[in-house]
Every structure is written in structure tokens, then in C-alpha cells.
Amino acid sequence: MTTRVFVDCDPGIDDAVALAYLSARSDVEIAGVGAVFGNSGVEVTTDNALRLLELYGRPEVPVAWGASRPLVQPPRLAPHVHGANGLGGVELPAPAGKPCEESAAELLVRLARETPGELDVLAVGPLTNLALALALEPRLPDLVRRLVVMGGAVRDPGNVGPHAEANVANDPEAAEVVFEAGFTLDLVALDVTMRTVATAEWLTELSRVPGERAERTSEFLAFYSDFYTEILGERQCAMHDPLAAAVLVDPHLVEGSYRTPIRVELNGTFTRGMTVADLRPRPSKDERHPVRVITDVAEADFLGRMLDSLR
């Protein structure tokens, strides 16, 4: 069975690996890609999405330009993590293709309406495009089969603040709209992504894989792993976005999860952008539609599949 997926992303180095993971699969149709500001400005992330789909052998996938800023706050980018060009300073050839006429939100809504109940959505950037799509089509949660979000930090610390993770913190209002909307939603938060890291051995193994795809990706990851080495104290890096892609297309990799409603703190002097779950040991009175928070995955299997996708 083919999985039909719309990818909303801000490439971004781990976004790039997520695109590689999906592109390598003959059982995955990437129906469209939406770009959003985040790791870089949207003009850069859109251009990178085009370049990456050409690198990974999916030049036919429509790429749509999305939001250039969050719904309320000013944008905050991450050149220190992903490089000024979003790809660790690695220059891929200029794309042959160009973005489609529709916005990312319009493309997502059109694709969802075309095949009601069949489209999956992978969101690995700020959730602004999804919030805009919900404004265009409030029935989106019924039209898509499943949404997998890389974002948030439920029990674990944040990465852009004590409690806030980048994708949620980069547009808390949009994230709150998405968590409220009633999607069948898997949340791949820092709780699992910071425990499922690419090791030094994995990075070395990738550096020995011949071919354009693996070589360029290894170069992106050299920049990205420098950032993580500083934080984690040894040479390794979190693979946030590819792990979310794996949860979507390889659901059997999930070994632990729990269900809870999620709310996003929109005020808070120290907690704006925090993903809040009521985890007190009694049935929650929160009537919001619960999401599935992923806590454990088959790590070795995931790392092997990620490497295979680049071979």
C-alpha cells in the first residue's frame, strides 16, 4: 500500500534527512511539500526544498511557498544550528524547478480534498502553514488521515528555552490552533528525539557511503553535528525530523506512547511556547481531543533505515 503524504517543513538539515527518508521509499508518494520560515527565512527554505527533492530523486513533487512569519510574534531563525543557507553552508545546484502557484496552505487543502481520508501530513517546522490551512478548511482534521508533528517537549526540557521546543516556540499560536483542531495526531517531541540520536559510528558509516545523496547529506550533518556535539558533549546529533518521518511511514517502529490532550502556553514569562499536558495521576478533566505522544522507538532499526535511505 502506498502512503500519500504532504510534508510541511523548514529545511533545515534534519528536514533534509526526513525528505531523503521519504524519497527513498517506493511505497511513499510525496504528494506535495510546503515550506515555512523556521530554520531559515521562507525564501531559503522553499529554495532548499526544491534543491533537496532534486538531490533525492523526486524533482516532480510540487513545492509551495508558505508563511514567512508566525501568526503573532516576530520570526526567529536558527543559522547557528543549520547554517546561514539552512544546509550547513553546503551549496547544492540551483533548482531546475520552481515553486508552484498555490501557497502551502492552499496546496495542502487541495490535496486533502482530492482524496478525503487518505492523505497523511508530516509537519516538521513551525505549524503556521497548518494553522492557515485550517482557516481555509476547518474540516481538514476529517479530510486528512493522520498528522505527525515533530515538536514540543512534554516531560523533557525544551531546546530554545527551559520548556519550549523550536517548532512550537516559533509559532505558539499556530501550534495551539493545530492541537485544538481534533486531528488524529502523533507527537514526536524532544522527549523521544533527544534519546534517538545519530551516533559518531552512524555518522562515520554514512561518510563512507558513496554517491551524491549520501555525500552531500554527510556534509550537511558535519555542520549540524558540530552544534549537537557542543550540547551533548560527544559527537552525535538528534534526528528530530527523520524520526517523525519514520513514525509516519514505519509505524511499527513505535514501542511506547501515551495519549493526552496538549495545550500550548501562550503567555508565561518563562514558559511561552511550552507544550502542556495534564499528567496528574487521575483521569484528566481536559476534554480536548488527545494526541499520541511517542516515547520509545526501535532505535537501531530506525538508524539502519535512515542509513539505507541514503545508500
Under rule CB under 5 A, how many of the chain's residues touch Ca ion?
Answer: 6
Question: Contact between 8 and ligand BDR (CB under 6 A)?
Answer: no
Is the separation of the CB atoms in 27 and 21 below 8 Å? no
Spell out, one character per residue from 161 to 200, where the chain touches ligand BDR: x when CB under 6 A holds, - when not: ----xxx---------------------------------
- The beta strands (E) that lie in 10-73 are given as 28-35, 63-65
Does 80 participate in catalysis according to the annotation? Answer: no
Q: Which stretch binds Ca ion (CB under 5 A): 118-126, 199-207, 274-282, 283-291?
A: 118-126
Identify which of residues 38 and 99 has a Cβ nearer to ligand BDR in the complex. 38
Question: Contact between 246 and ligand BDR (CB under 6 A)?
Answer: no
| Whole-number Å distance between alpha carbons of 117 and 246 | 20
Q: Which stretch binds Ca ion (CB under 5 A): 22-30, 62-70, 241-249, 267-275?
A: 241-249
Q: Among 125, 126, 172, 273, indicate the residue that binds Ca ion (CB under 5 A).
A: 125
Q: Cis before residue 97, ω within 30 degrees of 0?
A: no
Is the separation of the CB atoms in 297 and 192 below 8 Å? yes
Question: Contact between 150 and ligand BDR (CB under 6 A)?
Answer: yes
Under rule CB under 6 A, how many of the chain's residues touch ligand BDR?
Answer: 14
Question: Contact between 40 and ligand BDR (CB under 6 A)?
Answer: no
* CA nearest to 287, candidates 182, 208, 152: 182
Q: Between residue 79 and residue 98, which ones bind ligand BDR under the rule CB under 6 A?
A: 81
**Residue nearest to ligand BDR as judged by C-beta position:** 166
Question: Contact between 124 and Ca ion (CB under 5 A)?
Answer: yes
- The beta strands (E) that lie in 63-180 are given as 63-65, 119-123, 144-150
- State the DSSP code for 116: T
Among residues 82, 163, 240, 289, which one is catalytic?
240
Q: How far is the CB of 57 from ligand BDR (least distance, A)?
A: 22
| Whole-number Å distance between alpha carbons of 38 and 49 | 13
* CA nearest to 148, candidates 174, 130, 169: 130
- State the DSSP code for 90: -
Residue 6 pairs in a beta bridge with: 32, 121
Q: Among 15, 165, 176, 186, indicate the residue that binds Ca ion (CB under 5 A).
A: 15
Question: Contact between 240 and ligand BDR (CB under 6 A)?
Answer: yes
Question: Contact between 54 and ligand BDR (CB under 6 A)?
Answer: no
Burial of 121 (0-12, 13-18, 19+ CB in 10 A): buried
Question: Annotated active-site positions, please?
Answer: 240
What does the binding site for Ca ion look like in residue numbers (CB under 5 A)? 10, 12, 15, 124-125, 241
